Structure 1
Amino acid sequence: MKIIKNIIKELKYWPTKLAIISFLVLLTISSFLTYRIYKIEYSKELLQVKEETSDVKNQLESMINNSLNVVKIIAFITEKNLDETDFESISKSLLEKNKYIDATQIVKDHTIYKTFPLKGNESTIGYNINADSLNKKILFEAIKQEKVFFEGPIKLIQGGEGIIGRQPIFKNNKFWGFAAVIVRTDNFLKTINLNNSGSSTLFDYQIVQKNNVLNEAKFFKNNTDFSTGIINKSYLPSGNWYLYVKLKEPQYLNKAIEFFISSILLSLIISIYLRKLSQEPIKLEALIKKKTSDLEKANKQLQTRAKELGEANKELEHFAYIISHDLQEPLRMITSFLTQIEKKYNDVLDEKGKKYIFFAVDGAKRMKKIILDILEFSRAGKYIDEKESIDLNDIMKEIKGFYENEYPNGKFNYENLPTIVSYRSPIFQIFHNLVSNAFKYSKENLNPEINIKVVNQSKKDITFAVQDNGIGIEKEYLEKIFVLFQRLQSNEEIKGSGIGLAIVKKIVESLNGTIWVESEKDFGSTFYFKIPK
């Protein structure tokens, strides 16, 4: 009786009530989260199986499509009555290009009368493919649909197993026979990077004919049950197969159980901890004060780090300026002395010596240009002047004047551009560098044409497009061109250090904008950049 009274008394004690309520609430939340984890992990593993199915299916379809091309070529030469003269030579060429195809055949009516290579396949000549009752149905479907039909895996007359693709041949609108390709099972599996067991580290696989079931003829020698677990089934119409992929060791249930057990323990610990906290308000208040003090210290440390970072940036800028300035002096000396040597010993030097001096001087000049570009890049995005109202049409007129003499046949078009409020110098540099880049990478036999226009604007920002008809950029390099010293052209006639677009990107981003490019090789490029108005 006394024990019961103590239990009732404890239950009436409010910290205990808080602990029980907390535990029940946390347990409810944990149950919901466990269910969500169960669903998410199941979906992730199912997606993993689907992706693997897609990869294997793509490999299969690639092999089948190549086989389709081969069998259609054999059918074509037969329809054109070229099989007597060209079958062997064309088949040899096709098999050399498609290593996984073992043989080609021509079937007249339902009897095999030509095969390549003949060696090893002699037993197929004269064989009636209509002898098997199952074959009759498959052949009937192929003739009816007038398209290639794959059969397999089946035992081959010449020995072993493989798949056969047959294309019906019609002459004068009447069925004449078939063109066929044979792919042995071993070669077929090599093509899709699988072994005879149809098993990898993570997955089990199986391929069966559409009209068959999993316990009938199949490609892989495994007894995996594809009716349970995380599986994906996909139909390959070109081969009339079903592809099954199953995850070997799904973990979604284990992860959900592990989380649920952990969450129960955590809920219990939290409930006990809450009860203890509710009994010690003074300690809790002290803890809050301590955490507040720690946060204040952390904020001060962050402020200190920010200040140190700012000072470090200033030192780096100063260092870049000093290095750039000090490196130019020895380059000037090298260029000057080499030039003097060339003048003084011009009569003594042969053509090779003069060429060496020219290369050395040219290299020094290019090094100086790189140093100046580095200095310019370090300064980009830092402005000391005030924002002003800028008529972009005036900017375009100024830029156009730079290129009228160098590219007299070039076209430089711009619409009636708006007036924006920004920093004049960086805005000028953005357009100047993009236009310079467009002229520089124009096609040799085509007059350059550059169009500048506004493609979108809102109350807060405006988007410009700089379009050219130049050599274009391959898709894989669209991001790379904005990296320092990245030049996609090795042509020495195109001058530059590969820093212009990096400077443009840095300036645009310093104005809280973004820049990107759309291009296609040999079809020009369009650079877009969006900046605040």
Structure 2
Amino acid sequence: MNNKFSSFFSWFVNRPKVIGFILFIIIFSIFTYIVYQEYSLAKESEKEKEKQVLTIVKQNIEQSLKTSYVSALTLALTIDDEGKPKNFEKVSEKIISSSVIISGVELVPNGIISYVYPYEENKGALGLNVLKHPVSQKEANKSINSGKMDFAGPIPFKQGGKGIIGRMPVFIENQFWGFSAVIIREKDFLSNAGIYKFSKEGFKFRLAKADEETSKEILFFGAKEDFNVNEAQKSFVKDGNWNIYIYSENKENLLISLLPLMFLALLLSILISTFIVRFLKQPRELQRKVNIQAAKLLNSELKFKAIFDRAPIGIVHVEAESYKFIEANQKFLRKTGLSLDEITEARFDSVWRNSKDLKKLVEKGEKINSVLLKKNGTQIDVRVAVDYLKYIDKDTYIFIIEDITEINKAQNHLKELETRVKMAVEIAQLGYWEWNIHTNEVIWSPMMYEIFRISNDFKITPDFIVSRIHHLDAKRYVDSIRSLVNGENVNPSYEAKILDPEGNPIHVLGHLESEKGKLGEVIKIKGTLVDISSEKRTKEELDQSYDVVLQQNKRLINFSYIVSHNLRSHSSNIKSLSHLLLEMEHTQEQEEMFSMLNSVSHALDDTLFDLNDVINIQQNISISIEDILVVKYIERVLEVLKVEIIQKKADIIVNVPSDIKISFNPAYFESILLNFISNAIRYRHPNRPPIVIIDFLIIENHPVIQIKDNGIGIDLKKNGDKLFGMYKTFTKNNESRGLGLFISKSQMEALGGKITVQSKLNKGSVFKLFFK
């Protein structure tokens, strides 16, 4: 038996870690049980406090409601048998002065608020029919049906604010007369109940009204989140149909408060078990710990050195008295341009532009912004923090230095941009406004007051703005605002008329948009406005000028018709008479005169004929448009010019697909092709046979016919602006009349097309015909 015990004891003695672990488990279990008992007692104590506080709050609320009941009854007694209140204001004043919770009273005959006190604070509620208003209708009818005083709310007051209304139904000869009502502001209600007071003592409250029909609760005070309802105490206030919840925050901190005790238990368990293990294995364990500690210290020093050198901010270690450098990290050295050898002989205060900043930093120990000097003489903006360190029996400081040069540049740039934006708004005379839909607050920029022609001290409301918008534009503006409030999209830009104080219209151009909160709800409507009255007047003047120009143009066209039609008949007569005169016998001198007269009459007739064609083209008279096959008309023109092509030995190259069609007038198209192809042959270069290349292109979605030749070319610098002019010629060719290009250009423009030209003297020309 003794041998077995000795062997068992030796087994444990040779295994000190096993003994230490067993002792640790036993001791820690005992301490844990003690801590748990302490936690249970503390939790029960907090629950008891919750019950006590909840009882006090409930009693305060019930007492407030009873006081309100007495006050409402007292007010009801002022009503005589004929339903007329007597001494209403005097009685109301005494009721309010004697109550710490009631802020106002009302008499509501037939459900319509007709008497209020104090008047100034509650006059906004006058005329409200509580039996029809959706907020109060349900509670008011409930009070009538039950014949008892009912406390509604908290609800928003028409006169502003939020709170509780206690309504006592008043009956005269069993006929409902109306209500005697008391007004309790929400803050007064909560304060008198003690909720504000107990909230400061670590208690959380939630007050909710129970809906009798849906059994759902409507929260009107307290946290929506972070409230443990299951752990809270609950009480019901019957008169107001309210549920009161209370929860002590101290319960959440119980475990935290017991952590030191748990930590102490853990520490004692570890110490005792460790002591036993060390006692049994002291020499070897001591040596092992020494080695481990040495390795940890070495590792810590290496880590500190790595962090010190690689830190993204500058770190400097200096002596407290002399400010001599002890060490500095690479970030500081790179920023200042100094080397390790240079800082060994330098002082830290020498790199400060203002040494007073360094002294202030050391004395107060708070972060400061200052300027450091670099080795090359330039400066950097820095934010510096300091901490004291005892190092090898010396007083030293650790300085943490952050380069904020770029941040300061960005801030200065931002200020400059803000200044520019402000200047731009002032120059553009742009007005800015915003409307907070929750507070109904309206904010205007100074330019808005100038646009509306009112003084800057005028109080702006949404109703005022609508009243100053012209009646033809008001509905559209209100509909847009309503759509934005509902989160709908609207056309942000609008043009409207507003009225100045004298009723004169002002033309404005505006922009609307909404601002949304974190949950996507609309919280603000805002926009810009600019006065465009002068622009409107200018446009009206331009429109009037345009009308005058149109009238003048019509007169000129009529004159052109008179010239081109009436004069042509006379020119034809002159031409016929001159021809007859030539056939008669006459002297040689007369023959010469009649011959000259015949030439002039023919030229006049041709000129009037050309003028008539130009006018018909420009007026789009009888111009039909159809889909025409391009190749067909090219071949037709080439057939017409066949003799000339053979005589001039011209080479015509057609690169147009056979199925290409364009929408154009056939006669115009044939005339234009004939004009350009015949010109390419007529104005050929004398030293080479003419080559004409006809291509079909698509440029910017427009069909284009390109006609390229190797003729004599045109000096566009000299004659470019006259190229398409009427009767403009640039060669000595006797066949040139200066009308073909003018008519072709007129025909193209009459049907929405255009002509471009590229040309070089003695090289040739390229004409591009752009079709619509």
User: TM-score, normalised to structure 1's length?
Assistant: 0.44
State which structure, 1 or 2, has the greater radius of gyration over its C-alpha atoms: 2
- Higher normalized contact order (CA 8 Å, seq sep 6+, divided by chain length): 1
Q: Give the TM-score normalised by the residue count of structure 2.
A: 0.31
